[in-house]
């Protein structure tokens, strides 16, 4: 574990894999709940966990540098099901990257159990992992200026769902009506780090809504 | 709506509702947000007898004009600017009584960028995740003010302060930002690190609540390739591929994928909020505490 100081009251803890980052995140949350770690923010990411707002960064820094990350407990808790139509504009490109037929993309994607490795980019945007490495895809060469809310997308090893319309460079394979973020709801975010997720295929959108 | 309200007559270039922000949700991708010049916001709240977690208005360069529907105490601070009530000049940086229906004009900043307007009772828009702050990056909180909008006010709980004028720091003619080494300083050449902490930069007009952008020498990387996305702190100095440093301010993204060469001391960020485009900037290397 590599512990990097960030300013005067934060630490960036770097580990060697996404799985280790998730295990470390779970362990740090446990320590905070126990009261042995006081941190305003604990932010997991791809290979790191940021601890921000530390009263005394020197202590966790030395503790973490000496510690091993305990292996993550098996994922428990309910599985969030996200209905999806596999109708994205990049479906053909993704199928070509994967070397499969177009309709196979949805079958592989919906047959995978995902979980949220970390969040970021926008409130409610989760970086979901679960697809084997052979299904990694590059970002689009030219990002779109507006990706519609509810777009189900792939980039690198991750799947994500855009909570609201925003610019984005991920490959769009489908769409969902699921509400990823609603600040009037508790919790506001449908997905938070660790949440298990399954995508459930739906038929194409009915063309008769809203008039002729 | 009750008469405890404030009509926006002139919203100005960008006026937002701000309080102390919504820390604690970064792991969900929620920025901290909050007043960029937090000491100025805290001072004007104190002047009108509001608690420190109440909400104020944060203007940008051109001020705003407001018409309260009830008699209120108002204080304007941060960037110095002319303040009038029904056209008559009133003090800046001190509590002022505004009668119901009178027009409060917060003029364009004489210097600095952001003025803060506190109103007795506080701006009482609906909180989101415990904060009334407008977050321009993620769209949480109330939208920026628009002409004609009416903002609800709370009931005053304290008396306004009895002061003639409260001292406030002047906007910086040169912005000096103390920086500690960032977690990815080793992604840059030693030459780039020296350049960053020795050469002159200027505040760019592309600066906003998300980041203070600066013009000046580009910083060369020692390592190429992509940095996996990682958590970002307030004051992080991120360097995108063009080599021009960006200091992350209140509405910064909670994770990012460009290396952080340094981290600005939090105590220096209020001055960054008041540095107008063109202001000279120096990054001064300091040791961690």
Residue B9 and residue B143 share a domain: yes
Interval B81-134: pLDDT, tens: 999 999 999 999 999 999 999 999 999 999 999 999 999 999 999 999 999 999
Are B24 and A40 inside 8 Å of each other by CB?
Answer: yes
Phi, psi of B283 (to 5 degrees): -100, 120
Residue B192 belongs to some domain of the structure: yes
Residue A127: beta bridge partners? A118
CB A114 within 8 A of CB A128: yes
Domain end residue (candidates: A18, A38, A65): A65
Residue B41 belongs to some domain of the structure: yes
Are A7 and B263 inside 8 Å of each other by CB?
Answer: yes
Bridge-based pairing of strands A196-201 and A79-84 is parallel
Residue A102 and residue A52 share a domain: no
Domain end residue (candidates: B152, B186, B213): B152
- Specify the number of domains making up chain B: 2
Residue B222 and residue B105 share a domain: no
C-alpha B92/C-alpha B287 separation (Å) is: 38
Q: Closest chain B residue to A163 measured between Cα atoms?
A: B138
Domain end residue (candidates: A65, A91, A109): A65
Residue A85 and residue A185 share a domain: yes
User: What is the structure's pLDDT at A76?
Assistant: 76
Residue A71 belongs to some domain of the structure: no
Residue B243 and residue B274 share a domain: yes
User: What is the structure's pLDDT at A207?
Assistant: 43
The CB-based long-range contact list for B97-101 (8 Å cut-off, 24+ gap) reads: B97/B71, B97/B72, B97/B73, B98/B68, B98/B71, B98/B72, B98/B73, B98/B74, B99/B71, B100/B3, B100/B68, B100/B69, B100/B70, B100/B71, B101/B67, B101/B68, B101/B69
Residue B191 and residue B144 share a domain: no
Residue A148 and residue A93 share a domain: yes
Residue A176 and residue A100 share a domain: yes
C-alpha B26/C-alpha B39 separation (Å) is: 23
Residue A146 belongs to some domain of the structure: yes
Interval A127-141: pLDDT, tens: 999 999 999 999 998
Evaluate the CA torsion angle A187, A191, A196, A198 in order and state its sign.
Answer: positive
CB-closest option in A7, A41, A47 to B26:
A41
Residue A83 and residue A57 share a domain: no
User: What is the structure's pLDDT at B87?
Assistant: 98
Q: Closest chain A residue to B32 measured between Cα atoms?
A: A41
Identify all chain A residues contacting B180, using CB atoms and an 8 Å cutoff: 5, 7-8
Phi, psi of B108 (to 5 degrees): -65, 145
User: What is the structure's pLDDT at A210?
Assistant: 39
Residue B101 belongs to some domain of the structure: yes
Q: Residue A105: is it exposed, middle or buried by C-beta count within 10 angstroms (0-12/13-18/19+)?
A: buried
Name the DSSP letter for residue A107: H
Residue A94 belongs to some domain of the structure: yes
Residue A157 and residue A131 share a domain: yes
C-alpha A141/C-alpha A82 separation (Å) is: 28
Structural domain range at position A134: 79-201
CATH of the domain at A32: 3.30.1360.40
- Specify the number of domains making up chain A: 2
Residue A44 and residue A137 share a domain: no
Show the low-confidence residues of chain A (pLDDT under 50).
Answer: 206-212
Residue B64 belongs to some domain of the structure: yes
CB-closest option in A12, A44, A123 to B30:
A123
Residue A174 and residue A119 share a domain: yes
Q: Closest chain B residue to A41 measured between Cα atoms?
A: B24
Residue B115 and residue B37 share a domain: yes
CB-closest option in A6, A8, A123 to B183:
A6
Residue A151 and residue A49 share a domain: no
Identify all chain A residues contacting B27, using CB atoms and an 8 Å cutoff: 41-44, 118-119, 192-193
Strand, coil or helix: A127: strand
Question: Which of B31, B128, B183, B256 is the best substitution to test chain A (most A C-beta atoms within 10 A)?
Answer: B183
Residue B58: beta bridge partners? B16, B116
Residue B208 and residue B144 share a domain: no
Residue A145 and residue A93 share a domain: yes
User: What is the structure's pLDDT at A209?
Assistant: 43
Identify all chain A residues contacting B127, using CB atoms and an 8 Å cutoff: none
Are A123 and B230 inside 8 Å of each other by CB?
Answer: no
Residue A132 belongs to some domain of the structure: yes
Name the DSSP letter for residue A120: E
Residue B245 and residue B146 share a domain: no
User: What is the structure's pLDDT at A204?
Assistant: 59
CATH of the domain at B230: 2.40.100.10
Shortest Cα distance from B75 to chain A (angstroms)?
31
Q: Residue A140: is it exposed, middle or buried by C-beta count within 10 angstroms (0-12/13-18/19+)?
A: middle
How many interchain CB pairs under 8 A, A with B?
108
CATH of the domain at A104: 2.40.100.10
Q: What ipTM did this prediction achieve?
A: 0.93
Structural domain range at position B193: 175-285
Q: Which of B188, B196, B189, B260 is nearest to B229 (CA)?
A: B260
- Global pTM value: 0.92
Residue B141 and residue B56 share a domain: yes
Residue A175 belongs to some domain of the structure: yes
Residue A70 belongs to some domain of the structure: no
Domain end residue (candidates: A65, A96, A114): A65
Shortest Cα distance from B187 to chain A (angstroms)?
13
Are B231 and A41 inside 8 Å of each other by CB?
Answer: yes
Identify all chain B residues contacting A125, using CB atoms and an 8 Å cutoff: 29
Residue A72 belongs to some domain of the structure: no
C-alpha A164/C-alpha B55 separation (Å) is: 26
Show the low-confidence residues of chain B (pLDDT under 70).
Answer: 1
Identify all chain B residues contacting A118, using CB atoms and an 8 Å cutoff: 27, 229, 255
Residue A143 and residue A189 share a domain: yes
Residue B256 and residue B198 share a domain: yes
Residue A211 belongs to some domain of the structure: no
Are A122 and B29 inside 8 Å of each other by CB?
Answer: yes
Q: Closest chain B residue to A120 measured between Cα atoms?
A: B29
Evaluate the CA torsion angle B159, B162, B164, B168 in order and state its sign.
Answer: negative
């Amino acid at each position: 574990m590599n512990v990097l100081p960030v300013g005067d009251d934060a630490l960036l803890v770097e580990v060697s894999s996404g799985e280790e980052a998730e295990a470390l995140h779970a362990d740090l949350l446990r320590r905070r709940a126990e009261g042995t770690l006081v941190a305003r923010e604990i932010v997991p990411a791809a290979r790191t966990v940021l601890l921000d707002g530390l009263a005394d960064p020197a202590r966790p820094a030395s503790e973490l540098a000496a510690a091993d990350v305990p292996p993550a407990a098996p994922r428990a808790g309910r599985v969030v099901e996200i209905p999806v139509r596999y109708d994205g504009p990049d479906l053909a490109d993704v199928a070509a990257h994967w070397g499969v037929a177009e309709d196979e993309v949805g079958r592989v994607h919906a047959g995978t159990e995902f979980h949220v490795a970390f969040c970021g980019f926008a409130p409610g945007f989760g970086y979901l992992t679960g697809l084997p490495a052979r299904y990694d895809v590059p970002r689009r060469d030219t990002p779109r200026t507006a990706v519609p809310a509810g777009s189900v997308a792939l980039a690198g090893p991750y799947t994500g769902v855009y909570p609201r319309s925003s610019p984005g460079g991920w490959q769009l394979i489908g769409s969902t009506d699921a509400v990823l973020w609603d600040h009037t709801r508790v919790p506001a975010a449908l997905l938070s780090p660790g949440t298990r997720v399954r995508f459930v295929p739906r038929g194409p959108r009915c063309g008769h809504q809203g008039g002729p | 709506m009750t008469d405890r309200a404030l009509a926006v007559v002139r919203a100005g270039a960008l006026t937002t509702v701000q309080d102390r922000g919504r820390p604690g949700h970064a792991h969900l991708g929620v920025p901290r947000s909050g007043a960029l010049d937090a000491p100025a916001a805290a001072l004007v709240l104190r002047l009108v007898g509001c608690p420190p977690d109440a909400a104020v208005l944060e203007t940008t360069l051109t001020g705003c004009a407001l018409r309260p529907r009830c008699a209120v105490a108002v204080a304007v601070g941060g960037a110095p600017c002319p303040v009038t009530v029904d056209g008559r000049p009133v003090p800046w940086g001190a509590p002022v009584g505004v009668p119901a229906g009178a027009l409060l004009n917060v003029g364009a900043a004489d210097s600095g960028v952001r003025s803060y307007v506190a109103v007795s009772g506080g701006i009482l828009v609906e909180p989101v995740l415990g904060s009334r702050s407008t977050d321009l990056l993620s769209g949480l909180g109330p939208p920026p003010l628009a002409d004609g909008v009416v903002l609800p006010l709370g009931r005053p709980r304290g008396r306004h302060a009895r002061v003639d004028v409260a001292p406030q720091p002047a906007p910086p003619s040169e912005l000096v930002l103390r920086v500690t080494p960032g977690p990815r300083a080793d992604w840059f050449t030693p030459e780039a690190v020296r350049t960053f902490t020795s050469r002159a930069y200027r505040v760019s007009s592309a600066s906003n609540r998300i980041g203070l952008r600066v013009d000046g020498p580009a910083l060369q990387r020692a390592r190429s390739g992509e940095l996996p996305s990682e958590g970002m702190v307030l004051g992080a100095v991120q360097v995108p591929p063009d080599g021009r440093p960006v200091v992350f301010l209140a509405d910064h993204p909670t994770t990012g994928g460009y290396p952080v060469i340094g981290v600005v001391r939090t105590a220096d960020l209020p001055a960054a909020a008041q540095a107008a485009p063109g202001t000279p900037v120096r990054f001064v290397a300091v040791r961690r505490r």
